[in-house]
Structure 1
């Protein structure tokens, strides 16, 4: 038999001892009863017995929850007997406890108790069924649910603090203050259908009614912000109305017949109805089957419901809800909050005689609840000053000091119970929780989309609360970048060995994959990945993200002969598709006679994990490294504890095609192209021709000198001993919504048009200061800023080196001598490669973090003239091997 919920909590350990560790689902039914269609009858049909009675003794409260556990279905069924029951309304006027109160006060008291129970139900239920009796949707349900949602939000912090000390409770239950964002279902009668219609016609009408009622309810719930369909903020809503797993959230059922009819006609209709339903599906609109199927899907497919945090064991449920029930339902300290939410007019009438200082405290609390029930220290001091200011106009001069003392004491005590966590994220967002311990991690409830180092993958990221999580840890999760060549930016490594049990680099979630490889024992082979293999593997990754509707095709910008001369490598059939082992001793370490080209790429290797985690560095070597980005004001000689920049070699230069652009996702249409950059380099003609013949096969390089060009700009001058080479460069911006785009000039997104683009556009861009932040050009991102996140450089197949010297000032008001940089020396990029330099996600310097302004204006700058091209000889040692120059 079903028991009152409080009694069930006491007796459940004895009645259901065999199922104490069984995970359960909770289903609740609320709404109105009628003479012929009651909530208890519906759930009795679901459990298959007359478990619920709905009767209550005269000395017991008529507003209560009735509970029954079904061991077969592992579901706890709850029935709310609320203020809308006839028994409850009749007792309002005979209850001795309510003597001396007016009718409205009695009604407000009953509705307040009903509101507390509905609030409690939405904290512990997985599915809530609402029973409707009329032909039209009653909008009073919307008002009731709005009150419940307001009460839930105002008491959320108190509920979290109540659950936090309970041992062995799930962290998800503690952090969210409830088991789930419950699914909301409605049960309607088919009273508007004639009884003489055929079954097929009734089904057709019932389907139309379901669609009409569902559309109306969905609109009302969304307008009241009670439930939103497929919203990214479902956790902030009271309930979920429709999902993609459980199907229709509404059922049009057939209640018992209530119209008086001729007995002979009823018997005849019943006979034919039974005959028909035996041979046809008759349970499409059956309430019992609908509820059973809903709970069966919830229990079996719970993993598909992101709004269900936990299916607790029966023992855990009883232990936690025993504490939660007393606080939510019976704690008298919450009566004022409930009364102001439910009947603000009555609450105002009862507070006409309160003192002025109490009114000031009430205003302070109201402001706190309007901001989510939490105050930071600055917000507390601001609102306290307003409360004290309101006293000066209403309190006499003699009573003012005492009133100020009382207001300060009351507001401070209230703030200490509703104090917001003062932790601030790296982007300037406050933690959304109250003061908490380490069991709950900081979370500002702000989410952003970010792309990996190489630009192939994109995923959602949490708002980081540390520099390491922002600029390093997040990018270690991408597998597409882990196998690529990367430059090892210098970081602090202690000279002495600190013994530690943690075997990970910087204590990150993934070992470091972009640093110098450790020395192998003498005679042991060292494995490195060939660039052709990396190109082929990454090409497959990028093609999966390619969006045909966003990227169009264009003709080649330069002539085919020169393009082939500068960018083509050996044919695909000749590219090695294997892992090459170095066995020659000369390959193990570069000698002093070698030049740049045979030593630079040897740094772009994979590294074994370091033995010293970042936490150990902070603990033992705090003053020997900097805990911020490399900065011009940083002490000389100190290195950071982890890299905030990334330089990745995606592959060979032929990975980029100027006719189709970058094959990556989420680029603004027409902005996924790099800008061609023509550079004339001072060279020694004899050495140049010799190196070009060595770099290119005899068929690819004819040996003819390139004709002298006309003077166009600083990158295009004419004199004896000049050669023309072609690069591709691109500055990529990205906003928090994941939109990506290149720019053609400072502050202007690229809109690629082969006929309109200027040939020296890239040179002008390099010769100008470029903003770090600019407005995102997407029409759906009004007010959103995009940040400079990547620099793309494609180098030609020629004996030249691209020297990249980056100086970044995210703050427009900073002095020109204060800037961030990735490396003390310019980064030198080898020929015939496609490089991507990833900028930091957040900037932290000696004076603290830089937080972007709350506007979508141009901010910060990348110093101009960050690229220089010089000739660099090719060594004979590199050319002596068929795969020299590739790692």
Structure 2
């Protein structure tokens, strides 16, 4: 047969050029089914040569060929159910190309079944004979699902099909009314058998016919009415089992060469090259019996054998031109329609039903025992529990879709007025209130215990959210309402005092840049003028945050973060008794003592005495040339730590908590504390891992004519700026007094908050003693 009669649907240009297009009546034979590997998707080898293939198809398509001699149009369905077509289609998923992450085989298989079914339904509407080919010798019952789905789809599209055919004026009215030229006859072709015995094969064919008829009848695929999807002949054979199994050409060639090389073996010549007749069993002959019956009297396979006879079903041999027009019309209606056939999506429908059943359970699990509002961490923890429940019970290709829906629903439930504010406090605790505007007050719900400025009263304090709440407001309330230590003698620290109603925070970066561009000429200005400019405080701009060594000159904070209070005369402290619990509550046992610090002062006396180890010109050790002796004074100092539970204690050394035996005098001295860096945070013994913060410096000054000084410099972390209480240098304390300096609760410089860090420290040089002038 010439290649000019081959075509690919829906392109029928080759047939339109045929000279008998308006006169020849044709029989339409369609081949469907599955094929094994290495067959290029061709089925029924005796007919497959009618479909020339330049290359293997890689998608579902229908190729055709017109047999002019017998006036038969052959249609061959290639689909992804053919092994070679599937391999060709999946050629992109080789070793060089990774499979996409969102690749879902079951969803792709649903698309394959949809496409295959639509092509199948098209063939049922344009064919007289349909051959179902299968590579084995057993009936594939998976086709039952296809047939049932197509039966439903056919009824759904029936009116559209009839209306579309009605628009073609060429067609017979009966054809238009039935939607097709006839109810197609189904034949079954099996490519291989387990035996070559002809009698056994014939018996197998009869048994297969009985079983197929019984299955199709029980599943109501075939009925006695003309509305069945297809029919099978009542009195003719419709099952054909091929005697010769398909052979691998390369294997057979090698086997033949091996046989030819053996001595005494002659080459056998087989048909069609031999003069001997070929086998009597031939599928083409089997097929032509049905084709001839179609040409002579048509099919009436839906006739009932019962007493109730139905009218003969419509059968028509269409003119080639009419069939071409009808085929092109139905192709666009049936195949190009992309509505999914849900009845075929068994796995997908099961997955969807399962997910829909589990989804409400997972959402209910998420909402179980929910508070009115909750934090993101609580949301994520509950979502993880809900997802775990969903994961254990949901299955199939719809899992990812409904898992995302679960996340979206839980997220929406949380965001629907149930979000917690979660703004972090100065200590890192989230706000417990519902989400609100940033300018509204935050509350974490956590209560700390802290002592007042002087340390004589302990009160409850809310978790602070601003540096003013942390370092000023709480202590002001305690000083005025609880302890009344505001009435005690104090040394006030300089703060910003505005001269106008509109004032603002200074921009530190710009100020520092302005300072850094000073030239050498500006350095030559008068020292008095420079000092006057530096010390002149700004009355229009204040320092954001707290005072540090890097703070621009002239800028002051709006409130003091430090306090320095005099508790009274030095006699109120007894070194034998330590700090009494009634006046200084909260101290851990045996830690409420100050450390004695003996300091030698007197600069004149020191100059009169030579350095240790030096000798006079006479070779003798030096002797004082002055009558005055060095003055040694005793100062009591202490570094007090306080944890969030209100527990307080002193250190005896930078790495050791003070522990004094009851009723005895503290043996440790304050030299290590005075001459070393002291940690800003130290472990409290009240609970494992509980940190206490350095909060107070205690100084009991002597009666001697000396001044004790305090010059604290705190570095809250490695690389952090150094915080100071004042830029005026060391603070002189009055003689014979008990002074307590309260340190900041939080350290903030230019809106940067330095959180708890174990590298934080109080730098050495805090305590000092100078001789009174």
Would you call these one fold, judging by a TM-score over 0.5?
no
Q: TM-score, normalised by structure 1?
A: 0.37
Q: TM-score, normalised by structure 2?
A: 0.42
Which one has the largest radius of gyration? 2
